[in-house]
Amino acid sequence: MVATARKITVEIPDTLLQKAQQASGTGITQTVRAGLELLAASRAYKRLRQLRGKVQFSRTLAELKADR
């Protein structure tokens, strides 16, 4: 699958963009991409949180540490 890019125009409040750029330390494009990636990942994070305490592992934490 070949990744394609789309050029879009969005209206963003100046203060929001400035705060986001300060937080990311990057330019506009990189900041917007990072924000979109975080938003897309939030669904996966939510699903992982729902599994908390429901997954049974075949090895103990001590066994995993000893296997380093």
- Note the maximum CA span of the chain: 53
pLDDT recorded at residue 1: 65
Residue boundaries of the structural domains of the chain: 14-66
3-state secondary structure 42-55: HHHHHHHHHCCCCC
What average pLDDT does the structure give for the chain? Answer: 90
Tens of pLDDT, residue by residue over 31-48, are 999 999 999 999 888 888
With pLDDT > 90 as the criterion, what percentage of the chain qualifies? 54
pLDDT at 50 over 70: yes
Contact 31, 17 (CB under 8 A): yes
Query: What tokens appear for 59 in the block?
Result: 């090895």
pLDDT at 29 over 70: yes
pLDDT at 15 over 90: yes
Contact 23, 17 (CB under 8 A): no
